[in-house]
Amino acid sequence: MMKIFRTAIHGQPAGPRRPMLAVIIAGFALSIALPYFGLLNKYVIFVLISVGINVILTISLNLVNGFMGEFSVGHAGFMAVGAYGAAVTSVNVIPRWMGAAAFPTAILAGGLAAALVSLFVAIPSFKTRGDYLAIVTLAFAMIVKSALENMDVLGGPRGFMGMQQFTTLPWVFFWMVLSLWAIRNFVYSAYGRGVLSIREDETASELSGVDTRKVKVLTFALSSFFAGVAGGLYAHLLQFINPSMFDVIKSTEMLIMVYLGGVGSIAGSILGASIYTILMEVLRPMGVWRMVLMPAVLILLMIFRPRGIMGLRELRWFVYKAIPHSGAAAKGQNIGNT
């Protein structure tokens, strides 16, 4: 137990990383095999796909809120841009005969569109912090929603359809692993240390030479990219999207998953998204009262465990260490050690 979890961003020798690779390969194989041999019914597959999409959303939001300590509460806006971007690409831009080969292109387009739009939030974040930035992000999400409702080419409030159901379990697994891997790599790099230092003390970070503007732009872009990817996957799962799917309630769900699993933790993101998605499915018989439970959980979390289950701790497998075995550091003159 003691050895499994580490305080984030450092750790003992990270241990062999091959088990991680084995888990990924096994997971990918299972994601193909289980549906193929009919070992899972349609409903279970749907739930697993939802878990995957939610993991992507959670790690994406966690990067901004948990790792960087900024304050995005309108993440559904980026998801919406990604969903519409991917949907339009696959329906109107890519010719149909390309079939499933068009799918990754469409998802990529959705992600890039979201990353581009993230500048609208990144730039205000240079000047505003805290609750003001929260309003900026919420207002941004509102603008995206209102703008989509005003665009007749995209179906306006009625929504947009015509996408094929490209989103399958293996694809979701692939994008989920990609998002976790990329964000983990980013966090364990000089940029990632910049991200963490902004959370800890932005002024001290600036004064230590961190180009906080660049770090913020990169972080918002990366985070939004994957929120957009999740939106694209979602659009090609339901084959129908409309602006009100991406409202404050969607953003609230993402917040719950982040603060349930744990801020500033990759393992926590996986945990939070999985627990929440499955719990909501199990509670489906509760009907509309399930929707009452959801915000109640968020309030209780904030009061009693604001950092979540894994807050600021990390699973050893995810930790990257530049020097695998401590003691490799140069021995130098040591003074003042009295």
Partner 1 sequence: MEILRIKALGHDFGGLRALSGFDLALDEREFVGVIGPNGSGKTTLFNLVSGIYRAATGSISFRGRELVGMSPSSIAHLGITRTFQNIRLFKELTVLDNVRVAKYAAVRYSGLEALLHVGRFRTEERRLTEEAMELLTLFGLDDKAEDPAKNLPYGLQRRLEMARALAASPNVLLLDEPGAGMNPAEIGRLIQLLQWTKEHFPIAIVLIEHHMKMVMELCQRIKVLDFGVTISEGTPMQIRQDPKVIEVYLGKKDYAAVAGRTENTGYGHTADNRPHG
Partner 2 sequence: MAYFLQQFINVLQTGSTYSLIALGYTMVYGVLSMINFAHGDIFMVGAFLFFLFVSTLKLPFVPSMLAATVLTALLGVATERFAYRPLRGAPKMSAVITALGVGVLLEHLTLAINPYPRHIPAMFEGSGTWSAGGVVISQLKAAIIVFSLLMMALLDFTINKTKLGMAIRAISWDMSVVPLMGVSVNGVIAATFAIGAGLGGIAGVLYSLAYPVINPYMGVMVGWKAFISAVIGGIGNVRGAIVGGYVLGLVETLTIVFLPATYRDVTAFSLLLILLVYRPYGLMGKPKTFKV
- Site membership for partner 1, residue 165 (CB under 8 A): no
Binds partner 1 by CB under 8 A, chosen from 7, 92, 146, 150: 7
- Closest distance to partner 2 from the beta carbon of 252 (Å): 5
Binds partner 2 by CB under 8 A, chosen from 20, 142, 161, 309: 142
List Cβ neighbours of 59 (8 Å cut-off, separation of 6 or more).
179, 180, 183, 226, 266, 269, 270
What distance, in Å, lies between the first and last C-alpha atoms of the chain? 35
- Closest distance to partner 1 from the beta carbon of 187 (Å): 10
Closer to partner 1 at the Cβ: 92 or 208? 208
331 binds, among partner 1, partner 2, none (CB under 5 to 8 A by kind): partner 1
* Distance separating alpha carbons of residues 108 and 85, to the nearest angstrom: 9
Beta strand residue intervals within the chain, DSSP E = 5-7, 160-161, 240-241, 313-315
Size of the site for partner 2 (CB under 8 A): 40
- CA geometry: angle 237, 164, 40, nearest 5 deg: 50
- Site membership for partner 1, residue 207 (CB under 8 A): yes
- Site membership for partner 1, residue 335 (CB under 8 A): yes
Which of helix, strand or coil describes residue 6?
strand
Binds partner 1 by CB under 8 A, chosen from 194, 228, 261, 308: 194
- Closest distance to partner 2 from the beta carbon of 142 (Å): 5
CA proximity to 55, closest of 256, 318, 274 = 274
CA proximity to 23, closest of 308, 270, 280, 310 = 270
Can you list the alpha helix ranges (DSSP code H) found in 16-101?
18-36, 42-62, 76-88
Per-residue binding string, partner 2, 190-209, x by CB under 8 A, is -------------x------
CA proximity to 210, closest of 221, 225, 200, 224 = 200
For the record, the structure tokens of 99 come out as 């079939």
Which residue do the tokens 């991680």 mark? Answer: 20
Which of helix, strand or coil describes residue 241?
strand
- Closest distance to partner 2 from the beta carbon of 200 (Å): 12
- Site membership for partner 2, residue 303 (CB under 8 A): yes
- Site membership for partner 2, residue 162 (CB under 8 A): no
- Site membership for partner 2, residue 279 (CB under 8 A): no
- Site membership for partner 1, residue 197 (CB under 8 A): yes
Give the footprint of partner 1 on this chain (CB under 8 A): 7-12, 182, 185-186, 188-194, 196-197, 199-201, 203-213, 218, 222, 312, 320, 322-323, 326, 328-338
Give the footprint of partner 2 on this chain (CB under 8 A): 65, 69, 71, 73, 123-124, 127-128, 130-132, 134-136, 139-140, 142-143, 146-147, 149-150, 203, 248-249, 252, 255, 259, 288-289, 291-292, 294-296, 298-299, 302-303, 306
